[in-house]
Chain A
Amino acid sequence: MSQQSLAFRDLTLGYDRHPAVHHLSGTVPAGSLLAIVGANGSGKSTLLKGIVGVLKPMDGAILRPASMRLAYLPQQSELDRSFPARVFDLVSLGLWPRRGLLGRHKAEDRDRLEAALAAVGLKGFATRGIDTLSGGQLQRALFARVLLQDADLILLDEPFNAVDHKTVEDLVALIKQWHAEKRTVLVVAHDLELVRAHFPQTLLLARRLVNWGPTAQVLTPANLALALHFHEAWDDNAPWCAPGDTHDHARDDHAHEHHHHAHQHRGAA
Chain B
Amino acid sequence: MNALYDIIFAPFIEFGFMQRALGGALLLCLSACPVGVFLMLRRMSLAGDAMAHAILPGAAAGFLLYGLEIVPMTVGGLVAGVVVALGAAAVSRLTVLKEDASMAAFYLISLALGVLIVSLRGSPIDLMHVLFGTVLALNDEALGLIGGITAVTLAGLFVFWRALIAECLDPLFLRSVSKLGPPVHFVFLGLVVLNLVGGFQALGTLLSVGLMMLPAAAARFWTGQVISMCVVATLVGAASVISGLLLSFHLSLPSGPSIILSAGVVYLLSVLVGPRGLPSRRSRSLRHRAA
Contacts and interface: CB of A to CB of B under 8 A. Distances in A.
B124 interface: no
A252 interface: no
A101 B163 contact: yes
Select the residue from B163, B169, B175, B177 with max chain A CB neighbours within 10 A.
B177
Interface string B154-184: 0000011011011011111111111010000
A243 B163 CA distance: 42
Contact of B160 (A74, A96, A101, A131): A101
Given A85-B165, A101-B159, A101-B162, A93 B176 contact: no
Nearest to B228: A84
Contacts of A90: 169-170
Secondary structure of the B contact surface, majority rule: helix
A97 B169 contact: no
A93 B169 contact: yes
A89 B169 contact: yes
Contacts of B225: 84-86, 89
Contacts of B226: 84-85, 89
A83 B159 contact: no
A96 B229 CA distance: 23
B41 interface: yes
Interface residues of B, number: 25
Interface in A115-153: 129, 131, 145, 149
A54 B168 contact: no
A203 B179 CA distance: 29
A129 B170 contact: no
A72 B173 contact: yes
B169 A102 contact: no
B224 A84 contact: yes
A79 B170 contact: yes
Interface of B: 41, 159-160, 162-163, 165-166, 168-178, 180, 220, 223-226, 229
Given A72-B173, A101-B180, 5 more contacts: A54-B175, A83-B41, A83-B169, A89-B226, A131-B224
Interface of A: 49, 52-54, 70-74, 78-80, 83-86, 89-90, 93, 96-97, 100-102, 129, 131, 145, 149
6 contacts: A52-B175, A72-B173, A79-B170, A86-B225, A89-B169, A93-B166
